[in-house]
């Protein structure tokens, strides 16, 4: 038997309505919080802010304290991202695909798009750059069971040699190879996109054709890669799976 507070209200009913009120407040709070890092929603064609949402549509700016003295960053603060990209809509409806009007790998269209990340290197738990050339990491070396790729040719999707492997860039925190350096002018290729052909002693990267390796974004410093540069390199090679060859842009069926 539940204690009765009034003829129409007992403790169980009071607890139930307290839970309902708490749940409504929780939903209100969460829906505001998830709009603090890039919301509110806007129309992709006109840029007009969506009118629905009311008080739950916007929230105060969130601040993040970065480690190792990199200051404080707040979001959202930059307003609407620019939409003047080198592409045109193929039709006039929301969700219509864009067709590139220039070189999509350079212009950052579709899978070749990148994010304006920080122009500083990724750091390990001690504040040191995570990704460095193995030639500058005296405490790392290639295991005897693995192939040392130095001097091996790098071949594109069309079979054209883009250059030879001059160095390997390793992730000192995760203990693995992140990038292959081609030549000496700062061309890096993601290791995860490379196929090691040990029989023919060559590296095959079918994301790009041989001549397109010349357009890979270069590094500012010869001994480190920034988060922004990682984004650019990955976007360039990722976009190649669609834009490296005109035939790749056509449907299979």
What DSSP element (H or E) covers 64?
Answer: strand 62-65
Q: In whole angstroms, give the CA distance from residue 100 to residue 82.
A: 16
159: confidence class by pLDDT, cuts 50, 70, 90: very high
Provide φ and ψ at 134, rounded to 5°.
-65, -25
Please report, rounded to a whole number, the percentage of residues in the chain having pLDDT higher than 90: 53
Q: Which residue has the higher pLDDT, 29 or 59?
A: 29
Q: Provide the pLDDT confidence category of residue 122 given band limits of 50, 70 and 90.
A: very high
Q: Of 143 and 42, which is predicted with more confidence?
A: 143
What number of other Cβ atoms are within 10 A of residue 141's Cβ?
Answer: 10
By CB atoms closer than 10 A (0-12, 13-18, 19+), residue 251 is: exposed
What confidence tier does 33 reach under pLDDT thresholds 50, 70, 90? confident
Distance from C-alpha of 225 to C-alpha of 129, rounded to nearest angstrom: 9
Residue by residue, DSSP assigns 92-137 as SSTTPPEEESS-HHHHT-GGG------SSB-B-TTSSBSEEEGGG-
Give pLDDT, residue 39. 58
Whether the per-residue pLDDT at 16 is higher than 70: the answer is yes
For residue 231, the model assigns a pLDDT of 97
Higher-scoring residue by pLDDT: 20, 58: 20
DSSP class of 232? H
Contact indicator for 208, 155 with CB cutoff of 8 Å? no
Q: Which two tokens stand for residue 170?
A: 């390793």
Per-residue confidence band for 239, with pLDDT thresholds at 50, 70 and 90: very high
Would you say 128 and 120 are in contact if contact means Cβ atoms under 8 Å apart? no
Going by C-alpha positions, the residue among 154, 190, 184, 155 that lies closest to residue 171 is 190
Q: Which of 20, 17, 24, 23 is nearest to 9 (CA)?
A: 17
How many DSSP H helices and E strands does the chain contain?
Answer: 3, 13
**Mean pLDDT confidence for 80-94:** 80
């Amino acid at each position: 038997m539940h204690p009765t507070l009034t003829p129409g209200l007992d403790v169980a009913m009071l607890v139930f309505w307290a839970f309902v009120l708490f749940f409504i407040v929780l939903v209100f709070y969460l829906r505001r919080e998830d709009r603090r890092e890039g919301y509110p929603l806007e129309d992709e064609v006109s840029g007009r802010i969506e009118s629905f949402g009311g008080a739950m549509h916007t929230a105060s700016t969130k601040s993040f304290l970065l480690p190792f003295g990199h200051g404080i960053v707040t979001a959202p603060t930059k307003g609407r991202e620019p939409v003047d990209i080198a592409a045109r809509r193929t039709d006039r409806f929301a969700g219509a695909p864009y067709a590139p009007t220039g070189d999509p790998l350079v212009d950052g269209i579709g899978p070749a798009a990148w994010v304006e990340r920080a122009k500083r290197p990724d750091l390990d738990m001690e504040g040191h750059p995570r990704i460095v050339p193995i030639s500058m990491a005296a405490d790392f070396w290639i295991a005897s069971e693995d192939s040392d790729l130095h001097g091996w040719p790098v071949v594109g999707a069309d079979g054209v040699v883009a250059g030879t492997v001059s160095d390997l860039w390793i992730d000192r925190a995760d203990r693995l190879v992140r990038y292959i350096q081609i030549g000496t002018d700062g061309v890096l290729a993601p290791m995860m996109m490379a196929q090691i052909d040990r029989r023919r002693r060559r590296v095959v990267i079918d994301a790009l054709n041989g001549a397109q390796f010349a357009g890979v974004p270069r590094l500012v410093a010869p001994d480190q890669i920034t988060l922004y540069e990682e984004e650019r390199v990955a976007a360039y090679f990722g976009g190649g799976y669609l834009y490296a060859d005109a035939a790749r842009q056509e449907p299979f069926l």
